[in-house]
Every structure is written in structure tokens, then in C-alpha cells.
Amino acid sequence: MDGVHIIKGAAHGPDGKWDAVQAIQHEPFIYIQWNGSRWLGQEEGEITELLEVLANHKLGDFHYISENPCHGVENPDWCMGSGKPHYIDGPRMYAVDGVFRFCGNFETVSHAFGIDTNHKPTIDALTAAFARNRELFGGAA
């Protein structure tokens, strides 16, 4: 994708990507912390892989979309399967507005994902795929 920074890998640890993600947050970016069923050291999957799995397999109980993700304060309305973010009202993870976090797994296939992005076409595609998944298979809104 032209003009979009794509960073893959864990936020923290010896090869942590968090500083790199923070440095480019004012430009279009897609940060794929994890995506797929991978062994340690294998590269994370592409967004297209996640879209394909969303089209064919029911989301598991643990999934959500969160705008301007934060951490530290638990959401009192969150419970497994609610589709609501686990953390709210804590310190923001990004200084810029419009960053969305897509996080979850699936019931019938080994595939977990954690993706942060401010890239509008990616946000739109993943949001639509989540909605379509719920239409096809049922699940939390």
C-alpha cells in the first residue's frame, strides 16, 4: 500500500516495535501486533488473510473494535463475548485521534489478531468484515 507504514511484530520485548509505531502515528499506518496462527519468529499475516478468515469463520467470544485505544482502566460493561473494549478511560496509547484497534480470535480456527491502524480504507474494510461476520454467524454487536 503506497504511503502507508506497515509494521509487524510485538510491541515490547527485545525486538519491540512500539517506538517505531509511536514515531509514525501522525502518518497513515497499520500496526499488526499479531495476525494468524504463527510460531515464534514467523512473520505476522497480512490484512487480506484476516479478511478471508472473517468471511469464513465465526469470531470467538474475545473480539472487539476500539477507537483511540487506551489501557489501564477496565470497562465495567466488558465481558467475554460482549464485543466491547476491555479497557476504557485510561491513558491513551496514541497521541492522534482516529486510531482503531481490532482484536480477537475465532471459534473454529486457530487465528488470533491484534491490529491498530489509522488507515481509513483498512478501518472501513475490517469494520465491514466484522459486521458481515456477525450477520453470517451471529455474535455480539
* Residue range 3-53, pLDDT digits in tens: 999 999 877 766 788 889 999 999 999 999 999 987 777 788 899 999 999
47-56 and 120-137 helices, crossing angle to 10°: 20
57 within some domain: yes
* φ/ψ of residue 105, rounded to 5: -155, -170
- What pLDDT digit, counting tens, does each position of 66-81 carry? 888 776 666 677 766 6
Count of structural domains, the chain: 1
141 within some domain: no
Residue 28 has, within 13 A of its CA and on its CB side, a CA count of: 9
pTM exceeding 0.75: yes
Range of the domain at 112: 5-135
Contact 109, 137 (CB under 8 A): no
